Structure 1
Amino acid sequence: MVAGFGLLPVGVGVGAGLAVLLLGYDVAQADTVVSLPDGQQAFTTATGVQIDLSRTGESAVVSPSLAYNGLSRTASMSGTVYATVAGATGGTLVSGYLIGCQVDLSGGVTVGGDVYVAPGSVSPEVGPRSNLVPGGVAQVKFDTKQIDPRAGAVGFEYHDRGVQVDGCAGYAQARAFTTLTVTK
């Protein structure tokens, strides 16, 4: 059974709220923090597995482009994804964001990297960077977790995970998604 969290009415509102901020963000402005509404869905699969899926504490920090150009969009995402799966013998939880761009001026999809500097250390981290085709949507996965049948639950938190879209003219949107696949 596959549950698509982005199909909930709450998920539609979450994506639309962030889209407005990404639309015409001026590079000279400061960061904008957006708290997004929680979402929850409970149901029983055809095979009798009871599922309770939620996304809570979700927020986005929309930032000006570090390259100081109007064709880049940058946001840092935080939130918690959690599911209880009473009666499942296995399965997978996948979560991230769908990112769309109205007009692509870059040509393709790439994966970029970030470097974090702390006193005494420099640590590279590969992060998502999407260059989209016109009218295209890219999927950026934040995490994939296997269900522990003994625990009857699976989840993860993400804090300040960066998403960047380059070469995007016009409207841009990010929408959270969560997919839960269970076996019995």
Structure 2
Amino acid sequence: MKKNITRRVVAAAGIAGAVAMGLTSLGAGGATAGPLPGGTITKKLVDGTPVTIQLFDEYANVQRAVSNVPTSREVWGSGKVRVTVGGKAEGGSIKVGWEVGCQIDFKEGGASVPGVGGGLDYSDPSNITAGAGLTGDSVGGNVKIGPGQVSRHWLINETSGSDTAYSDYNLSSFTFKGTKGGVVYSQEQFKVDGCIGYAAARAIVQVTVNTDSVKGVVMLNGKPFSLG
């Protein structure tokens, strides 16, 4: 059986208008980021298929870790994602998470380390593997990063084991059929460890769409917010 990932994350096909899935209000804290503006992006795949991603009702509650260690922070994030595809596409998959940086200035299409100059392109989904300051994917609640490093923390990245016989039970994204799909997440937590200096994060949404002629990936970056 597939693992029960979380009761606070809901994948829904055809999310539209006012969704009857309210998000629990998050309490105020020491370094609360509060409401965030989300974002919208529309891209056309090489065969002309339009893909629109909307991130809305985004909220982040940022606090020092319970241990009160200066190099640690805790974040609780909430939001809603709506995806619309056109053309001959019939469905796709959605990955939602956060890009977290230690002493990193996030910019449109990439990030830079203050005082170093030049941009590090972390916007390309193919750059998820480690290298050039990108520490790779993380799951399970903890993100360990040092100065000048960026890591991606996804809501889900579960597997039933290393045995290839269980490959059908791997779960790393939410799938949908038809022209619309979405994800609602509430108070999903991740923890940042080992960051000496300031830290920042931004929501990321990665949508993969297949048509008869192309497999396309579209990435939406939310607005960066400080983790203190």
- CA shift, 1:168, in A, is 1.3
Q: Residues 84 and 109 from structure 1, CA distance in 2 versus in 1: closer, same or farther, beyond 3 angstroms?
A: closer
- Aligned twin of 1:141: 154
1:101 aligned residue: 102
Residue 147 (structure 1) shift: 3.0
Code of the residue aligned with 1:166 in structure 2: it is D
Residue 31 (structure 1) shift: 5.8
Distance apart, 1:145 and its partner CA: 1.3
Aligned equivalents of 1:109 and 1:69: distance in 2? 24
Matched, 1:38 2:38: yes
Normalized per residue, the structure richer in strand is 1
**Structure holding more helix per residue:** 1
Evaluate the alpha carbon distance shift between residue 163 and residue 147 of structure 1 in structure 2; reply closer, same or farther with a 3 A threshold: same
Identity, in percent, stands at: 30
Q: Does 1:182 align with 2:209?
A: yes
Q: List aligned pairs for 1:84-95, cutoff 5 A.
A: 84-86=84-86, 87-95=88-96
Gaps of 5+ in 2: 1-28, 105-134, 157-172, 212-228
Structure 1 position 158, deviation (Å): 0.7
Map of 1:18 onto structure 2: none
The separation in 2 between residues aligned to 1:136 and 1:163, in whole angstroms, is: 17
Counterparts of 2:210 and 2:49, CA distance in 1: 8
Per the TM alignment, residue 90 of structure 1 is displaced from its structure 2 partner at its CA by 4.4
2: CA distance, partners of 1:33 / 1:110: 23
Partner secondary structure for residue 154 of structure 2:
strand
| Cα displacement string for residues 4-38 of structure 1 (whole angstroms, at most 9, x for unaligned residues) | xxxxxxxxxxxxxxxxxxxxxxxxx6362511003
Quote the RMSD (CA, aligned, Å).
Answer: 2.5
Residue 109 (structure 1) shift: 8.5
What is the rounded CA distance, in whole Å, between the counterparts of 1:167 and 1:66 in structure 2? 15
Partner letter of residue 66 of structure 2?
L
Matched pairs, number: 136
Aligned residue for 2:145?
A: 132
